[in-house]
A and B are shown apart, each in its own frame.
Chain A
């Protein structure tokens, strides 16, 4: 079955450490997205990519970095510059532009040790 796989499901970060969240899709979608969700809140866009080797900052990109070297992969690195990284991180993909429904992975929950 086609879908989006996020790993790991749970991740713990130490002070000063960078951590990378994985997102892989086999839907052959061009566009991919990373969102952050805080408890009881909606989603805020971190980064998005419409095509391989290209990505744009979303509303809260500071302290995060991404790469899009392959169509099926869009990893997110939470750097030590992100002072409040504890959140639920969701990856999504869509066929193309924003009119297309987004398909979501089941998220990674990041906590601080």
Chain B
């Protein structure tokens, strides 16, 4: 199975609501990244959080990292229809050489 596992697999919300998704991993990491993918497109980098950080913000995005629980969460506040996409976490494993390991993603639908 993949290192990063997102939960839930799919999420449907109304415009203006907040969306929260979680990522769990199994072994120690150096950092964790979140990406967005619009349907049929490539991924776009959203935010990177290092293992010694607990929280980061970027615009309407808030990412937390709990290394004791081996989990991270991505919160999108005041969601918009344009936030409809799949969101992936990618872990930088300490033992994995120079590569990222991507999770299966959370598909978010924001209804207008």
Nearest opposing residue in chain B for A33, CB measure: B99
Set of chain B residues within 8 Å of A4, measured between Cβ atoms: 42
Interface residues on B, range: 20 to 34
Q: Is B100 an interface residue (CB 8 A)?
A: yes
Give the distance to chain B from A22, nearest Cβ to Cβ, in Å. 14
* In contact, B92 and A99 (Cβ under 8 angstroms): yes
Set of chain B residues within 8 Å of A105, measured between Cβ atoms: 42
* In contact, B92 and A98 (Cβ under 8 angstroms): yes
Give the distance to chain A from B46, nearest Cβ to Cβ, in Å. 9
Interface centre among A6, A43, A102 (most CB of B within 10 A): A43
* In contact, B30 and A99 (Cβ under 8 angstroms): yes
Chain A proximity mask over B47-84: 1 for CB below 8 Å, otherwise 0: 01000000000000000000000000000000000000
Q: Is A48 an interface residue (CB 8 A)?
A: yes
A24 to B103, CA, bound (A): 26
* In contact, B99 and A90 (Cβ under 8 angstroms): no
Question: In A39-87, which residues have CB < 8 Å from any B CB?
Answer: 40-45, 48, 50, 56, 58
Chain A proximity mask over B99-111: 1 for CB below 8 Å, otherwise 0: 1111111010000
* In contact, B44 and A98 (Cβ under 8 angstroms): no
Q: Is B88 an interface residue (CB 8 A)?
A: yes
Q: Is B20 an interface residue (CB 8 A)?
A: no
* In contact, B92 and A102 (Cβ under 8 angstroms): no
- If the complex has contacts A41-B104, A107-B40, are A98 and B99 also in contact, measured as CB distance less than 8 A? yes
> Mind listing 6 A-B residue pairs with CB under 8 Å?
A48-B98, A98-B30, A98-B92, A98-B98, A101-B48, A107-B40
What is A's interface to B at a CB cutoff of 8 Å? 4, 6, 31, 33, 35, 40-45, 48, 50, 56, 58, 90, 92, 97-99, 101-107
What is B's interface to A at a CB cutoff of 8 Å? 2, 4, 30-31, 33, 35, 40-45, 48, 88, 90, 92, 97-105, 107
